[in-house]
Amino acid sequence: MKAAEVLDDLRRRFPNEPEYLQAVEEVITTIEDTYNQYPEFERYNLIERLCIPDRIYSFRVSWVDDKGVVRNNMGYRIQHSNAIGPYKGGIRFHSSVNQSILKFLAFEQTFKNSLTTLAMGGAKGGSDFSPRGKSDMEVMRFCQAFMTELWRHIGADTDVPAGDIGVGGREVGYMYGMYKKMTHEFTGTFTGKGREFGGSLIRPEATGYGNVYFLLNMLATKGIDIKGKRVAISGSGNVATYTAQKLISLGAKVVSMSDSDGTVIIPDGLTEEQMKFIFELKNIYRGRISEFAEEYKLPYYAGQRPWKLVQADIALPSATQNELNGEEARALLANGCIAVSEGANMPSTPEAIKEFLAAKILYAPGKAANAGGVSVSGLEMAQNSQKLSWTAEEVDAKLKSIMAEIHNQCTIFGKEEDGYVNYVKGANVAGFMKVARAMMAQGIV
Provide the annotated active-site residues.
Answer: 124
Give me the 169-208 binding string for ligand 2IT, x by CB under 6 A, dash otherwise: ----------------------x-----------------
Q: Which residue's CB is nearer to ligand NDP, number 96 or number 335?
A: 96
Polymer length in residues for the chain: 445
Q: How many residues sit in the footprint of ligand 2IT (CB under 6 A)?
A: 12
183 contact choice in ligand NDP, ligand 2IT, none (CB below 5 to 8 Å, kind-dependent): none
3-class DSSP state of 159: strand
Region near ligand 2IT per CB under 6 A, out of 67-75, 271-279, 286-294, 372-380: 372-380
Region near ligand 2IT per CB under 6 A, out of 64-72, 85-93, 220-228, 244-252: 85-93
DSSP state of 76: E
Region near ligand NDP per CB under 6 A, out of 172-180, 269-277, 315-323, 332-340: 315-323
- The nearest distance, CB 78 to ligand 2IT, in angstroms, is 13
C-alpha 328/C-alpha 153 separation (Å) is 41
Q: How far is CA 208 from the centre of its chain?
A: 10
* CA distance readout (Å), 267 to 67, 255, 312: 44, 6, 10
Residue 316: which of 415, 195, 218, 249 has the closest Cα? 218
3-class DSSP state of 91: strand
- Give the residue at shortest CB distance from ligand NDP: 237
C-alpha 352/C-alpha 341 separation (Å) is 13
Q: Which residue's CB is nearer to ligand NDP, number 256 or number 320?
A: 320
C-alpha 381/C-alpha 64 separation (Å) is 33
318 contact choice in ligand NDP, ligand 2IT, none (CB below 5 to 8 Å, kind-dependent): ligand NDP
- Rule CB under 6 A: is residue 166 a binding residue for ligand NDP? yes
The angle at the Cα of 221, spanning 242 to 428, to the nearest 5 degrees, equals 70
Residue 200 CB: number of other CB atoms within 10 A? 25
Q: Which residue's CB is nearer to ligand NDP, number 24 or number 106?
A: 106
Mention every residue, 6+ apart, whose C-beta is less than 8 A from residue 112.
122, 366, 367, 368, 370, 371, 374, 431
Instruction: Give the footprint of ligand 2IT on this chain (CB under 6 A).
Output: 88-90, 109, 112, 162, 164, 191, 345, 373-374, 377
Instruction: Give the footprint of ligand NDP on this chain (CB under 6 A).
Output: 94, 96, 163-166, 168, 207, 235-240, 259-261, 318-320, 343-345, 370, 373
